[in-house]
Every structure is written in C-alpha cells, then in structure tokens.
C-alpha cells in the first residue's frame, strides 16, 4: 500500500524522495497504463500550484490522451502543434513560463498560464510526453526541468 510522504528538506532532497517513490511504485510492473497512472498521481500529490498533470502517448501518428490528474483534456494532439506536439516532434523539453506567449498554444484549460512538457523516448523511439500545467505564470524553472527529465527517464525504463 502506498503512503504519501511528507516532503521535507531542500527542494533537491524533496525531488529525490519523489524519484525514490516512483521507483518503488513501478518496480517490476510491466503495464504502461498502470505505471503512468501512478506516476501522474504521485506528481499530483507532490507538486504544488498545478492544475493538470498527465501523459499523452504517441500512437505512431499523433499524441493521444493517456492517464492524468485534472480536468478533462484534449484527446488528440498533432505532432508539432502546441506545447505537447512541439516537445514530441523536437524530442526536447518545453519549459513555457507564459503559455500565452507560445505560438499555437492549445488551451485545454483556460486557467493554465504556464506549462512544462517532457518527451518520453524509449529505445530511441518516441513513446509520448509528460505534460504539467499551472494556473501560475512562471511556475516551472530549470530545477523542475532537471527533476522531471529524471522522473521521465526512470519511468521510460519501465514502460
């Protein structure tokens, strides 16, 4: 059974605790949907000031909504479109401090003001993206990016 931790210490120590929890949650679990569901729930419990966290999975043509926490979301996103599609097509994390300044931003939730999207690549192939939205401007920074890229790396190894 999972017990939510109290996250204490430096930001770096808190991030490390979450990475350790992720490893425990997905250990020896082969089901990708189950692992993404638990991963999104873990981030939703840990991250403050977010309004959506979840996954889009690449089906060979476009990104399709996967497990998430938050309000209903866009179901399909073309590669190269919006923050998620850009992260997927470029295979590069998109850290967007103000989504209103991002050309072609897709507003699934009008309350979102900042976003970070991390591509998930497994064995050199695009698997999907981790998408996190916040109602705050400038919610995400480079430390979040490093943490979330490690988070996705751990998860990708088990997908």
Banded pLDDT at 3 (limits 50, 70, 90)? low
What order of strands is seen across the sheet that includes strand 114-122? 76-78, 62-70, 52-58, 125-134, 114-122, 94-96
- CA 9/CA 108 separation, integer angstroms: 34
| pTM of the model as a whole | 0.93
Q: Can you read off the two tokens belonging to residue 73?
A: 């979301």
Banded pLDDT at 10 (limits 50, 70, 90)? confident
pLDDT at position 85 is 96
> Cβ contacts of residue 110 below 8 Å, gap of 6+?
none
Mean pLDDT (the chain) is 92
Q: Is 124 exposed, middle or buried (0-12, 13-18, 19+ CB in 10 A)?
A: exposed
Among the listed residues 59, 110, 108, the one whose alpha carbon sits nearest the alpha carbon of residue 83: 108
Among the listed residues 72, 73, 68, 53, the one whose alpha carbon sits nearest the alpha carbon of residue 148: 53
Among the listed residues 134, 117, 145, the one whose alpha carbon sits nearest the alpha carbon of residue 49: 134
Among the listed residues 122, 113, 124, 1, the one whose alpha carbon sits nearest the alpha carbon of residue 50: 113
pLDDT at position 108 is 76
Banded pLDDT at 2 (limits 50, 70, 90)? low
pLDDT at position 107 is 74
pLDDT at position 7 is 67
């Amino acid at each position: 059974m999972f017990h939510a931790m109290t996250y204490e210490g430096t930001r770096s120590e808190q991030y490390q605790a979450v990475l350790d929890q992720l490893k425990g949650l997905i250990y020896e679990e082969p089901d990708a949907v189950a692992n993404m569901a638990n991963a999104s729930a873990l981030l939703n419990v840990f991250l403050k000031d977010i309004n959506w966290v979840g996954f889009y999975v690449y089906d060979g043509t476009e990104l399709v909504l996967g497990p998430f926490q938050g309000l209903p979301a866009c179901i399909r996103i073309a590669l190269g479109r919006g923050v998620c599609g850009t992260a997927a097509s470029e295979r590069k994390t998109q850290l967007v401090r103000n989504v209103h300044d991002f050309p072609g931003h897709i507003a699934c939730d009008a309350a979102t003001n900042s976003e970070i999207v991390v591509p998930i690549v497994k064995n050199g192939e695009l698997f999907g993206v981790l998408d996190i939205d916040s109602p705050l401007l400038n919610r995400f920074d480079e430390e979040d990016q490093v943490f979330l890229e490690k988070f996705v790396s751990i998860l990708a190894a088990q997908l």
